[in-house]
Structure 1
């Protein structure tokens, strides 16, 4: 059946969000920008923070952002409801001395970031985006727009390409971006020009490659949404929408809603802006200090808190059904998923499953389960890391997708909207 106009509008807004977020640094800033527009106050970690009761705040650390809204009647032991996601995606990151080339071509020296499906990046117009650290101490965000391409070798020159394509990660993943002889500042000059600074002033950079095509709704009854970086901007966006919807509400008598969008999940989360780092704890400790909590009261609040770790999972693939569990087979358009794993790759347990069911019922949405085929081990998420790091009860959830870790992934339009709805129910519980 056709998806609702509200779900279609949500998908279009997600397309805008992804277009504004080609790198984790852009994503964190877009989270802050959107929340500031609805009244959240941006805080500096180096400054003293205001009293927390009744306030709505957001803080950015590198490519991560944490935002929260404190009920006016919050106390030192009020629980937090944390919706966790991540801002990074598998792909390519620019190397030092990035301008390379051969045979009259200008190329970009890139390093593989995380575990991308390499062949999905072929024959696409790609953009280069990230942050530049300048000689005057400023850090600016840059985005070239469509600039690069990884051209595939023609079938005439590789008659076996359709029998199985394997790309050498060093020799065959360096995009072309122009013609001529390489010089040291050429590619950095493109990044600098995109933001109106001098390439000679660049002292450091973190830049990644992203698909330049906009997200699109398509398929029978507008059921599908395809875009780059759905893993995991679909969850980040759902959290922003849900938290932003509380901006005009009078919060009272409930938990403290928190959105935690971490960086570096695709690398294991071990960084100052990753889930294994101290960012979330740093923020929560300061929030509870603002409520007058001592160390014991903070731990009591943590014990009463919940974290929904939201990341994408696998929909059953019609051409590869044998790769999935033979019974538990989530499908696009049938609702968000509860992720289960016996080896604690996901943090869900029975109590968490029951809580998830209650939040879904409150939101009026259907839910599915995901569990891996025993012969195809699953990945992991920020869920077990957050549970281990803070001792907060954690449930792993998300939406089912196809083409995970592709340059362009596939989701169900209704699932995207339903995830935001259940995030709202979770925040308001």
Structure 2
């Protein structure tokens, strides 16, 4: 298994380089090209035959390897995760000046734990659309902060709990009224003039770097573990695997936290377009394409809830995923996760072959669970799908907590999955 230090350093580097989904997609492509993959352009013809390839569409990325032994009926092995995280997206009119302060206006993105963003040093990451039609990525240093109201002005806060209005109480202080605006700072980082920026997609992100915690250094605390953990594990697995009789594919989708119904989300056509072009390059007929799909598997990888030591009653009494005891198989009767018996059996076999423990996750009946890209992909592709992940604490916080060995174990099982047909 990969050492904990290597896992921490590689995951921390990915998170630090990925303040937004746009940065994450580009960073994955960069790491893959450094490993010998060829980046392709969707608007250009793609090569036929064996090779390793990656393509980026905005904040989404898909990569694959075509081994020497493939033909029109070779199945796909797809690992899918998402590049976005809950948080705040800056509004089109970014600044407000009031009471001597310059604040940033932001719209809530997905379902973040609002209170976790308070009193935290924030940077801003963005994709800039320039007047010449080109794009540039940018990120500031720590420049903003959402200040909490002092206890002296809210004497009941500790007894009655913090109550935040998502509109009124989430403005981030950028500086004094005469401070430079956020577009000036982003343009400066991108090496362009602010007047060259025609539009932008900008998000708050935690400026604190990932940390190793725990008495044995066994924990990682970081923003965006949901779901860069899975992107990292899939990326390293794709590089490490030696595929035989399978076409391994890594798909990192955007917009999972807001429903996936976009051109770069799991509900859009991106993956189907890529798979169709791969099949076309192999000379597959429609019938052969469908036959191969029937033998293919999708692993939807996203984080799940470890049993919380302060809230053990929020978890099922008998199915209790413990952090540090390996990846989880995510199961839900209402198909919020699409794992069935065949999928569970596959994951347990892969885990056994990789020498990694496997444990199940199911929500308590009184606690409705979230969902993943898994059900969406199963519906669109018709491929057998299993939902998995690692157990973490503080999901959807600005800073989440996981066990490093679980990340290494997930990478190990995904490497096994990418190595041969199932």
Band of TM-score, shorter chain: over 0.9
In 2: Cα distance, 1:165 partner to 1:193 partner = 37
- 1:230 pairs with one of 215, 225, 242: 225
**Residues 101, 181 of structure 1: 8 Å contact kept:** no
Structure 1 residue 117 displacement after superposition = 0.1
CA RMSD of aligned residues (A): 1.1
Seen in structure 2, the aligned counterparts of structure 1 residues 296 and 87 have a Cα distance that, compared at 3 Å, is: same
Structure 1 residue 8 displacement after superposition = 2.4
2:279 matches 1:288? yes
Equivalences for 1:9-408 in 2 at 5 Å?
Answer: 9-51=6-48, 53-162=49-158, 163-181=160-178, 186-246=181-241, 249=242, 251=243, 253-408=244-399
In 2: Cα distance, 1:145 partner to 1:254 partner = 46
**Residues 63, 250 of structure 2: 8 Å contact kept:** yes
Structure 1 residue 374 displacement after superposition = 0.2
**Alpha-carbon deviations, 1:339-375, whole Å to 9, x = none?**
0000000010000000001111111100110000000
The alignment of Structure 1 onto Structure 2 pairs a total of residues equal to 419
In 1: Cα distance, 2:410 partner to 2:276 partner = 28
Structure 1, unpaired ranges of 5+: none
Greater mean deviation of Cα atoms: 95-104 or 26-35: 95-104
TM-score, length-normalised on structure 1? 0.96
For residue 116 of structure 2, give the secondary structure of its aligned residue in structure 1.
helix
Structure 1 residue 181 displacement after superposition = 4.4
In 1: Cα distance, 2:103 partner to 2:186 partner = 14
**Residues 98, 110 of structure 1: 8 Å contact kept:** yes
For residue 66 of structure 1, give the secondary structure of its aligned residue in structure 2.
strand
For residue 389 of structure 1, give the secondary structure of its aligned residue in structure 2.
helix
For residue 239 of structure 1, give the secondary structure of its aligned residue in structure 2.
helix
Structure 2, unpaired ranges of 5+: none
**Residues 119, 145 of structure 2: 8 Å contact kept:** yes
TM-score, length-normalised on structure 2? 0.98
Runs of 4+ in 1 over 3 A off after TM superposition: none
**Residues 64, 249 of structure 2: 8 Å contact kept:** yes
Seen in structure 2, the aligned counterparts of structure 1 residues 105 and 206 have a Cα distance that, compared at 3 Å, is: same
